Amino acid sequence: MPFVINDGVKIWFEVEGEGPPLMLMHGTTGSSKSWRRLGITDALRDEYKLILVDARGHGKSDKPHDPVAYLPEPKTNDIKAILDQLDIESTHYMGYSMGGRIGFDVVAKAPNLFRSMIAGGAGPSPQSLLEMSSQVYENTIEQIVEMREAVNGRMADDFRTDFLANDIHAIRVSLDPAVLDQEELYRAKLKKFSKPTLMFVGTEDPRIDDIETMTEQMPQAEFISIEGRDHGGAMEAILGLMPQIKRFLERVSQSQNSTNSRDRS
């Protein structure tokens, strides 16, 4: 299986499909398998070269236990290393929750790596994540599963197995306040990010005001709210957004192709 090594940390990824590159980045406690479970890989692989990544601390990638390893620069360098190995100069990008914030890291540190960005359930404020960090991740991974299942019912067996396989210490340090509190950096850089951006969030997600406000301040950003969905529910609803996501990506590709043609003439 393909992987890159960034400053001693192995990052696993796989490539599937044909077309313009589109990198997919999952949320906290997830992995590249998340996109397969949701049907997103099947929905996009005929039109895009999908680059599915296990973020550092997750899946088959290495799991450092030092918060410094989860700051914006190392995570940005993970993406750059993958693109370099694939000989890809820039990519479309879609991330959810933590995956969206990793996108913000790239916007802050190397925005030229993106052709466009789609970010779901992710805003510059760390407040919701700080609350999750203090309330949930003080427990063992087994206790977290019990709490989630008490609210949402039993997880699917394969999802439950993967969730329990998480390295809880790596998850905790990835949610360290020093890692999460990048609000000033994110706001400043997102306001200047000129590439097309699509932000979406559930109407029951407490992040919604932060995300909508940030979208309004960005040069080329669109906003979609998913009625009646909370943070986890919006992730589950991404397949229903495929028509909007595909139209967005098609518009971006057509616009960029037209610009490139004019530049060559």
For the stretch 120-148, pLDDT in tens is 999 999 998 888 777 666 788 899 889 88
User: What's residue 263's pLDDT?
Assistant: 53
- Which of 64, 58, 70, 3 lies closest to 30 in space, CA to CA? 58
Q: What is the pTM of this model?
A: 0.95
SS3 49: strand
Q: What distance in Å separates the CA atoms of residue 243 and residue 105, rounded to the nearest whole number?
A: 27
Can you give the chain as a three-state secondary structure string? CCEEEECCEEEEEEEECCCCEEEEECCCCCCCHHHHHCCHHHHHCCCCEEEEECCCCCCCCCCCCCHHHHCHHHHHHHHHHHHHHCCCCCEEEEEECHHHHHHHHHHHHCHHHEEEEEEECCCCCCHHHHHHHHHCCCCCHHHHHHHHHHHHCCCCHHHHHHHHCCCHHHHHHHCCHHHHCCHHHHHHHHCCCCCCEEEEEECCCCCHHHHHHHHHCCCCEEEEEECCCCHHHHHHCHHHHHHHHHHHHHHHHHHHHHHHHHHHC
CATH topology assigned to domain 3-124+183-264: Rossmann fold (3.40.50)
The pLDDT of residue 139 is: 85
Nearest in space to 193 (alpha carbons), one of 225, 211, 217, 210: 217
What is residue 183's predicted lDDT score, i.e. its pLDDT? 97
Residue spans of the chain under pLDDT 70: 1, 135-137, 258-265
User: Helices 72-85 and 98-109, interaxial angle, to 10°?
Assistant: 80
Q: Which amino acid is at 202?
A: G
**Number of CB atoms found within 10 A of residue 110's CB:** 17
- In the chain, the N- to C-terminal Cα span, in Å, equals 41
Q: Where are the domains of the chain?
A: 3-124+183-264
Residue 148: per-residue pLDDT: 82
